[in-house]
DNA sequence: ATGTTC
């Protein structure tokens, strides 16, 4: 894969047939994937062949190999010009994302109660493969209300406050969810998992604000140095996974009929305006609402534990997805166009002044939440005006080792002891699960964030460090 | 990521 260095944080893959647009990779030289180990840059070029794609197939600094699209990929297609939507451009964990809450408590004030707090959070947070959830919905009507209402429905039911919704992407629920496009099998898988963390890289962490880079923006976000926070990273569990599987299969069958040919069958797609495209978007929106309700319920459970153990309140800073496709209006060649923006392992980053921001964030931009790898720091960023890639930035550290490689690297070592030696307490999680998520399996999140800022995608606001982690 | 290979 030939890369042309355009600037210190921007590389180009020149367009060659059958690419419709070039590829653009935002990264430093040292963050670029190793072609021998990771074929994600080939995936960037493959995405550039999709019908209706505009500008470029983009990769964020945390790019790595994924299903069809790379993780850390952004691609927008022009809806009115045959643009497609591809489930692989969203990923299996639809609307996986991050929620950050800030306590009215400083880390010094928490020290003596941290163990009790983590015990309480560990007990109150359903986690792991399958099993357990805050809600178990046995009837389809109530699950449909979750799929339509997302965090709004959870708040209506008493699991949160109105102010939370102002600090959620889409005010807590994506419009145009169509539960009728969600299979019975997906419903069955999701019914018992509403309000559960899952496993893998998902977590609930107690963190502290270690460093603030912009006082005014941090203050507007509700963050100050030394403050205790809770970060929740999870998604749509088995429901989103099943929806992705179902709709990839349907699209594989009809792609030829739509005259679409792709270099990798994992890029299965259909025109946004086709029946199959609309069906996927309706089901995807339902899964997105499920993921938002999921984070709302876990946050509510964490609030109850915080109140009981510390007497402290938790205020929502923001909730944002990093696996989603959205119909958005952007300028293309000087004209406003309706685009289907796929962000897979990429976070929307609205700049100051954007009309989708709540009033109290209008002047500072959208909080962008970047979870680091387990036991390392996390970041809060904000959007910047005139950024490339349709107001998107990175989503995390980005894997450099496969799960299998990570487990092998930890053989004979004790991952829990290593974390505790770094003063990070752990609740839950299998030994294998921890081994898969050790920092050595990931890029350096600070380098990723620095490259994203250097590329003009976002700006740093604060860095958070972990005090304790609850894992699946 | 995932009832971890329908």
Per-residue pLDDT reduced to its tens digit, A165-205: 999 999 999 999 999 999 999 999 999 999 999 999 999 99
Instruction: Evaluate whether A34 touches A399 at the Cβ level (below 8 Å).
Output: no
Give nearest nucleotide to A436 (CA–C1').
B4
Instruction: Evaluate whether A317 touches A101 at the Cβ level (below 8 Å).
Output: yes
Residues 73-92 of A with CB under 7 A from strand B: 92
User: For A190 and B3, how far is CA from C1' in angstroms?
Assistant: 11
How many C-beta atoms surround the C-beta of residue A454 within 10 A? 16
Q: How far apart are CA A148 and CA A175, in angstroms?
A: 8
Instruction: Evaluate whether A453 touches A410 at the Cβ level (below 8 Å).
Output: no
Give nearest nucleotide to A190 (CA–C1').
B3
Tokens of A334: 């000087």
Q: How far apart are CA A445 and CA A6, in angstroms?
A: 23
Which is the CATH superfamily of the domain at A4-400+442-471? tRNA-splicing ligase RtcB (3.90.1860.10)
Q: Which residue is nearest to nucleotide B3 (CA to C1')?
A: A130
Q: How far apart are CA A443 and CA A432, in angstroms?
A: 20
- What's the pTM value of the predicted model, to 2 decimals? 0.98
Tokens of A403: 């799960």
Q: How far apart are CA A194 and CA A176, in angstroms?
A: 20
Where do the structural domains in chain A lie, given as residue ranges? 4-400+442-471
| pLDDT the model gives residue A238 | 97
Q: How far apart are CA A314 and CA A294, in angstroms?
A: 17
Q: Which residue is nearest to nucleotide B1 (CA to C1')?
A: A93
| DSSP 8-state class, residue A388 | S
Q: How far apart are CA A323 and CA A333, in angstroms?
A: 26
Q: Which residues contact A414 (CB under 8 A, 6 or more apart)?
A: none
What separation in angstroms does the CA of A279 have from each of A85, A154, A191? 11, 25, 21
Q: Is the CB of A401 under 7 A from strand B?
A: no
Give nearest nucleotide to A67 (CA–C1').
B1
Q: Is the CB of A315 under 7 A from strand B?
A: no
| pLDDT the model gives residue A472 | 87
Nucleic acid strand B: bases within 7 A of protein CB: 1-4
Q: By three-state DSSP, how is residue A410 classified?
A: coil
Looking at the annotation, which residues of A are catalytic? 395
pLDDT tens readout for residues A411-439: 989 999 999 999 999 998 889 999 999 99
Q: Which residue is nearest to nucleotide B4 (CA to C1')?
A: A129
φ, ψ of residue A80 in degrees (nearest 5): -80, -5
Please name the helix (run of DSSP H) or strand (run of DSSP E) that holds residue A115, with its range, or none: helix A114-124
Q: How far apart are CA A228 and CA A110, in angstroms?
A: 8
Residues of chain A with pLDDT under 50: none
């Amino acid at each position: 894969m030939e890369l042309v260095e355009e600037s210190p944080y921007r590389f180009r893959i020149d367009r060659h047939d059958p690419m419709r647009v070039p590829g653009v990779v935002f990264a430093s030289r040292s963050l670029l994937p190793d072609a021998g180990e990771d074929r994600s840059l080939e995936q960037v070029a493959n995405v550039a062949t999709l019908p209706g794609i505009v500008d470029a197939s983009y990769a964020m600094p945390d790019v790595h190999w994924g299903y069809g699209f790379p993780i850390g990929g952004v691609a927008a297609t022009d809806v009115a010009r045959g643009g497609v939507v591809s489930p692989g451009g969203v990923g299996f964990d639809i609307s996986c994302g991050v929620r950050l809450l800030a306590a009215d408590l400083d880390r010094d004030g928490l020290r003596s109660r941290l163990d009790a707090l983590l015990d309480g959070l560990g007990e109150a947070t359903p986690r792991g493969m399958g099993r357990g959830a805050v809600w178990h919905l046995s009837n389809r009507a109530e699950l449909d209300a979750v799929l339509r209402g997302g965090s709004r429905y959870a708040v209506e039911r008493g699991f949160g406050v109105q102010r939370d919704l102002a600090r959620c992407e889409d005010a807590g629920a994506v419009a145009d969810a169509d539960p009728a496009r969600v299979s019975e099998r997906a419903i069955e898988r999701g019914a018992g998992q509403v309000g559960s963390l899952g496993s893998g890289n998902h977590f609930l962490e107690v963190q502290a604000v270690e460093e603030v880079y912009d006082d005014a923006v941090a203050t507007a976000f509700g963050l100050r140095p030394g403050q205790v926070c809770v970060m929740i990273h999870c998604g749509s569990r088995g429901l989103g996974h099943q929806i992705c599987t179902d709709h990839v299969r349907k699209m594989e069958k009809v792609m030829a009929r739509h005259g679409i040919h792709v270099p990798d069958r994992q890029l299965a797609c259909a025109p946004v305006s086709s029946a199959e495209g609309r069906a996927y978007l309706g089901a995807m929106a339902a899964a997105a609402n499920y993921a938002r309700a999921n984070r709302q319920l876990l946050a509510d459970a964490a609030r109850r534990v915080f109140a009981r153990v510390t007497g402290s309140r938790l205020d929502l800073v923001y909730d944002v997805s990093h696996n989603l496709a959205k119909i958005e209006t952007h300028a293309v060649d000087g004209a406003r166009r309706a685009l289907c923006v796929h962000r897979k392992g990429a976070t929307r980053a609205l700049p100051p002044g954007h009309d989708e921001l709540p009033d109290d964030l209008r002047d500072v931009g959208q909080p962008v939440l970047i979870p680091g790898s387990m036991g390392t720091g996390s970041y809060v960023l904000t959007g910047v005006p005139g950024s490339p890639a349709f107001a998107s930035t990175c989503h995390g550290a980005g894997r450099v080792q496969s799960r299998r490689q990570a487990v092998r690297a930890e053989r004979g070592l004790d991952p829990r002891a290593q974390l505790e030696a770094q003063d990070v307490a752990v609740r839950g999680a299998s030994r294998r699960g921890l081994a898969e998520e050790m920092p050595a399996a990931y890029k350096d999140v600070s380098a990723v964030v620095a490259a994203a800022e250097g590329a003009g995608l976002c700006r740093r606001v604060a860095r958070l460090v972990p005090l304790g982690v609850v894992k699946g």
